[in-house]
Amino acid sequence: MDKSGSGCGSKKENTDKGRSLIDLVFSWSFGDALNESLYKGQVKKIPETFKSSSEYLHSFVAPLIEETHADLLSGMKRVSQAPSRQLDSVTRDKRYKPPKDLIYKIVLKRDSKKSDLATYQPQSGDLVTLTDVRPKCTSDLNRSKMSYLLAYVQGVKEDPDELFIRSSKPIMIEEDMQRKENISQQKPTFFFVFLINMTTNIRIWKALHPDPKGGNLNMINKVVQMNGADEEDCPMCLSEKKSGTVLPFNSKGLNDSQEAAIISCINTQACHHQNTVKLVWGPPGTGKTRTVGSLLFALLRMKCGAITCAPTNIAVVEVASRLMSLVKGTLKYDTYGFGDIVLFGNGKRMKIDDHEDLLDVFLDYRVEILDKCFSPYCGWRTSLVSMIDFLEDPERQYSQYLANRELENQKTEEENCDENLKGKDSTNHKLEGKNCDVNLKNKKSKNSWRKVINETLKQKETKKKHVASKTENRLKPDEKQGTHGAFLEKKNAQEAGAETCKEDPITLQEFIKKRFCVFYERLKFCVVNLYTHLPTHLVSLELVKTMMIALDLLGSLETLLNRPKSDKGLKIALNDTETESEIGHFAKLRVARKHCLQRLKSLPLSFPVPEFSEKIIIKNFCLDNACLLFCTASSSFKLNPKRTVPLELLVIDEAAQLRECESTIPFQLPGLRHAVLIGDEHQLPAMTQSKSSGQAEFARSLFERLVLLGQKKQLLNVQYRMHPAISSFPNKEFYDGKILDAPNVKDRSHEKHFLHGSMYGTYSFINVTCGKEQFDHLHSRKNMVEVAVVCKLVANLFKEFTGTRQRVCIGVISPYKAQVHAIQEKLENKYSECADSGFTVSVRSVDGFQGGEEDVIIISTVRCNINGSIGFLSNHQRANVALTRARHCLWILGNEATFIKSGSVWKKLVTDARRRGCFYDADEDKHLAQAITTALFELKQFDSLMSMDSPLFKEAKWRVCLSNDFKKSVASIKNPELLKQILNLLEKLSSGWRQTPEQKNHRKNKQIAVGGSSGLLEVYPVNGSLNLLWSVDVIKENSHFIQILTVWDMLPSLDLPKVAKNLEALFGKYTVNKMIHCKCKCLEGNLVVPMRWPMKDCLMQSVGREDDIMSRSFASLSLANKSSASHADSKVRSRGKWRLKQLDCSQNRDQ
């Protein structure tokens, strides 16, 4: 095994271990990178058991390399859509040492046309390619001018447009630029194109190559040795145990299985005899996150060092939010205790701005706050000393203020200008002190401070080169710095004065009020944030109470200072000597000042923290001293191996979604003794890019492997999410009926109806028969008919919402990305503005919805084919996730025939839905039927539209045949309203409706009628400009002749005569017998129904015999089932109910 690289070694070793994977990627040629079979046959299946930790770790190496290769290949295929930036300059860094250390400093050009959010900002770990063109296809990466070149982003400077890269080849950009400038004076253009981010893979690589001397492999050895025969609890702990474990908090709201799981984990944490890995099985809706939050709350109360990891930032945020909801309101004093909790990671991916409740524990926010609290210019020590000095002798500072004004008045504008050029090295100090007070001024609440700091973090994300100069320009031109003391005196005078030197000086009373307010706000900011953000073992509760008493006293003093008084009376009150002339108000002021000074002097000037000279020191301090840490498994790599508070317990939430190789990162944390894995192997595992890696079980989690080995799981057996009608099938199919429905979901109030009709009850399978699978440009499937049905359902829900104002959250799920995108495009954010009013729509893939839930879930399954092929939809884990997201209503869209033939879990679902009376055809709802018909027309799927299953002809009596000319005419129509009019007319004609003689005569009077001798051609108006040309025809079917409708075309009135002439020529070729059969009409009330004749009878040529044939005809050709046709036929024979009317050509010509 390669011994280079570990998360626990020296910095140099860490770098070497990480770069070995980068070197491997750099070694791939352009052809290698595009070769999908580069590692074919080299990726072996990861076994379930191992002989040693070395074998265990090594088993992941080849699949990781293959997965990295597949990631790169995928990035190269998508390069035309990849984010990119143009280079401004490239220079060699001082660390540049060929042939491997090809380190360059890159400066990216800013695009003034793009917003900061739309601009690609490279991050450490990005693997990019340098090209001389903005690539439009993969081959552009290997053009002759600049052959295939990769670069790895090693670091980003404070200015995000300046970064350091390590290149796979020497970059001759500088020389090329100089040469071309000498010749053409034109600078060549180069692009910096993102491919993938390798951070997580590099961290896994390092974890797979640990330092044999300094690493902690105790937990790795434990998972290697585990099997189903392992004892659940430590025998020694059981022998020492005298009484049952009591939870250190009120367990009200937890069910028995949740409480048992928490107690079991707490007992595990207390064991010092052996390393333990505990499995907690949390099926959908069973309160898994609540259980994890309660466990962590108990650990916080016990001051146990623990780290909580999850596969994604979103999952980390969810469990952290759950803990904070339990912690708030239970602390001994306000937010005292938050300093023991740290959440760290990528704030953008965590969407931390949407979680204000987490800002107090978010690391980046905490670092900014503590940086201000310990600032030498406006931090705790400075503010405390300044307030004490001020209260002891405010008159002296007032005198200094007046003296400074006098000096300023003596200076000329020229001198002021000279002074502004001095002290450039102190600009940052001035800026810090100034901005500190600007930020704190009038910030009366902690929420205001939080917003200020959070805004600062946002600004740092989009920081540009010109920010510093702009900030400097905000400084007043007369601000200058001499010694630190002089600077404070002058600065304080300016804060208190707030007027120019040319104005009259403020009075003593005004000076004292303003100066006091500045110092008071600084102290208030520091006190609240120090007890919030420092760990409790460094700030005692007694000290917190003392600081708050001091603030209360200062608040009382501020009230007294704000009361009207004269300067003379104020001087008397500020004098420590009591006088006979002192009146009550001034006496109170003097006493309050005295008490404030006593309390302030009792406070410590410093705290037992290191010197915070840099923010990285503050960050490390927070991470090292926290009791509970939250981060992704990958980010746990950042933790210092030499922590102040040891981490003894690892909790992995969503453990079944975390690749086992990635779990090796937190499993090697120093001091770690136990691990608790919470997950559900029946839900989706992690994704893999490579098929070979997937087949090698690279996506398998440690949780799943231990379950396969028979390791015992602690089951959470009560679900609180789904209505019993929704939970019934997945509980039976995936969990063997082990999950109980909680009282809340069985309550009648949990049954909600958001639309009218039995189809839209709690649980429905809606059969969409006319769908058609299509592929998008990325070879992902979509079904536009199902898209239309989904959009109509959402529209109907919104219409109902506007009437009832009943809040509803809708989730639309599909297993295919193309379907997700198609639905999103159709919805076009139509309902995004309604989110605040209580109507929300979320469209995501099954993978993207894992862990989520909504009131109504609509599943679009997409698959519709005659083979019963459903691809990865047959995966039980994917089906389970999709079917368990709904709280109140679950509506599943799919094709019954496809699922029945698939023989998969979906066949069982359809059968179950039919058995339970929850099966419906989509076209049973007229709104859905219309949506399906419109979609088929828009997609030009006329074969599907004319099929027996088409909702357009669900109630039709006539079979309709569309000519190619008509299909072409419809294909050219873009107006959806016109399409609807055409559909409505076809639907009416197929149902037997015909124009009345009066309507035909009206059109004749308008000179729209067409001439012709056959009398077969019919022209019906679609709207004011277009007309539908159709006729009755006769075709052979089996042993009968039947009447059908043939739609010839759709034309404007001016084009009718020419086309009619051509059609009359066609009709002229009909035999007399066929003509007669075409013009025969059978009436059913006001409707005309098609006729059919046995072929043997139709061969007779006698007209009289023909009449006899017609009298014995079948009633109609129905698109319904055979029993309906037989019933109609029996009515004709028994009662002679049908009236058969044969009209000659002259009578029918104008009808």
Q: Which of 14-28, 892-906, 1086-1100 has the highest mean pLDDT?
A: 892-906
Nearest alpha carbon to residue 152 among 215, 104, 188: 104
Looking from the CA of 997 toward its CB, the CA atoms found within 13 Å total 3
Most confident of 55-69, 832-846, 1063-1077: 55-69
* pLDDT 10s digits, 238-264: 666 655 566 777 778 899 999 999 999
Please report, as a single letter, which amino acid is at residue 991: S
Out of 781-795, 814-828, 927-941, 1129-1143, least confident range:
1129-1143
Whole-angstrom distance, CA of residue 994 vs CA of residue 175: 83
* Prediction pTM value: 0.81
**How many Cα atoms sit within 13 Å of 1012 on the Cβ side?**
26
Q: What does the buried/exposed string (b/e) look like for 614-637 if buried means 16 or more CB atoms within 10 Å of the residue's CB? A: eeeebbbbbbbbbbbbbbbbbbbb
Domains defined along the chain, listed by start: 11-207 (no CATH), 216-225+256-363+612-715 (3.40.50.300), 375-601 (no CATH), 722-938 (3.40.50.300), 955-1148 (no CATH)
Q: What is the pLDDT of residue 1104?
A: 38
Determine the pLDDT at residue 145: 67
Q: What is the pLDDT of residue 501?
A: 53
> What band does 1118 get if pLDDT is binned at 50, 70 and 90?
very low
Distance (Å) of CA 994 to CA 438, 991, 1081 = 81, 9, 11
Strand ranges across the sheet with 886-894: 839-845, 808-814, 854-860, 886-894, 763-767, 919-921
Distance separating alpha carbons of residues 873 and 814, to the nearest angstrom: 10
Distances (CA, A) of 1033 to 303, 967, 1075, 1150: 87, 18, 9, 18
Q: Give mean pLDDT, residues 992-1003.
A: 81
CA distance 806 to 819: 28
- Tens-digit pLDDT profile for residues 1027-1074: 999 999 999 888 889 999 999 999 998 888 989 999 999 998 998 889
pLDDT the model gives residue 983? 84
Q: Higher-confidence residue: 363 or 11?
A: 363
Residue 21 binned pLDDT confidence (cut-offs 50, 70, 90): very high
Distance of CA 386 to the CA centre of its chain: 48
More reliable by pLDDT, 771 or 309: 309
Predicted confidence band at 268 (pLDDT cuts at 50, 70, 90)? Answer: confident
Looking at per-residue confidence, does 865 or 452 come out higher?
865
The rounded percent of the chain whose pLDDT value lies above 70 is 79
* Residue with more model confidence, 148 or 480: 148
pLDDT digits (tens, 9 = 90+) for 573-614: 666 555 545 556 678 888 888 999 999 999 999 998 888 889
Q: Is residue 290 predicted with pLDDT exceeding 90?
A: yes
Q: Tokens at residue 971, please?
A: 């294909």
Residue in the block written with tokens 């030197």: 501
What is the average per-residue pLDDT within 856-871?
Answer: 95
d(C-alpha 622, C-alpha 367), whole Å: 8
What are the angstrom distances between the C-alpha of 1034 and each of 1016, 1044, 1047, 1062, 1138? Answer: 12, 6, 13, 19, 20
What mean pLDDT comes out for the span 951-962? 84
| Integer CA distances (angstroms), 144 to 72, 167, 186, 195, in order | 21, 18, 20, 20
| CA dist., res. 688 & res. 694, Å (int) | 6
- How far are the Cα atoms of 277, 672, 828 from residue 225, in angstroms, in the given order? 11, 17, 54
Q: How does pLDDT run across 975-996, given as a tens digit for each residue?
A: 878 888 888 899 899 999 999 8
Which range is most confident: 210-224, 371-385, 430-444, 951-965?
371-385
What pLDDT is attached to residue 243? Answer: 53
pLDDT, residue 504, reads 76
3-state secondary structure 771-805: CCCEECCCCCEECHHHHHHHHHHHHHHHHHHHHHC
3-state DSSP call for residue 698? Answer: coil
Q: For residue 235, say if its preceding peptide bond is cis, omega within 30 degrees of 0.
A: no
Share of the chain above pLDDT 90, in %: 55
pLDDT band with cut points at 50, 70 and 90 for residue 816: very high
The confidence score (pLDDT) of residue 945 equals 74
| Confidence band of 178 (pLDDT split at 50, 70, 90) | low
Nearest to 883 by CA among 704, 1046, 687, 732: 732
Res. 658: pLDDT tops 60: yes
Q: What is the pLDDT of residue 186?
A: 59
Q: Is the pLDDT of residue 113 over 80?
A: no
CA terminus-to-terminus distance, the chain: 91
Is 535's pLDDT higher than 70?
Answer: yes
The arithmetic mean of pLDDT across residues 265-288, rounded, is 91
Q: What average pLDDT does this structure show over 808-821?
A: 96
CA atoms 267, 268, 269, 272: torsion sign = positive
pLDDT at 426 over 50: no
pLDDT of 678 above 70: yes
Q: How far apart, in whole angstroms, are the C-alpha atoms of residue 723 and residue 762?
A: 7
> Is residue 221 pLDDT above 90, yes or no?
yes
Q: Read off the tokens for 460.
A: 């740092």
Res 485: pLDDT: 39
Tens digits of per-residue pLDDT, 894-932?
999 999 999 999 999 999 999 999 999 999 999 999 899
Angle at 924 between CA 923 and CA 926, to 5 degrees: 70
Reduced to 3 states (helix: H, G, I; strand: E, B; else coil), residue 1029 is strand
Q: Is the pLDDT of residue 1135 over 70?
A: no
**Is pLDDT at 811 greater than 80 in this prediction?**
yes
3-state secondary structure of 1030: strand
Q: What is the pLDDT of residue 244?
A: 59
CB 323 within 8 A of CB 628: yes
Q: Which residue did the predictor score with more confidence, 1088 or 1105?
A: 1088
CB 196 within 8 A of CB 653: no
Q: How far apart are the C-alpha atoms of 233 and 676, rounded to whole Å?
A: 13
Q: Interior CA angle at 750 toward 745 and 754, to 5°?
A: 140
Q: Which residue's entry shows tokens 């009619």? A: 1060
Output phi, psi for 814, to 5 deg: -145, 145
* pLDDT at residue 948 in the model: 60
Q: What is the mean pLDDT of the chain?
A: 82
What pLDDT is stored for residue 1139 in this prediction? 30
Q: In sequence order, what DSSP letters do the residues of 1076-1118 get, joined into one string? A: HHHH-EEEETTEEE--EEEHHHHT---HHHHHHHHHT-BS---
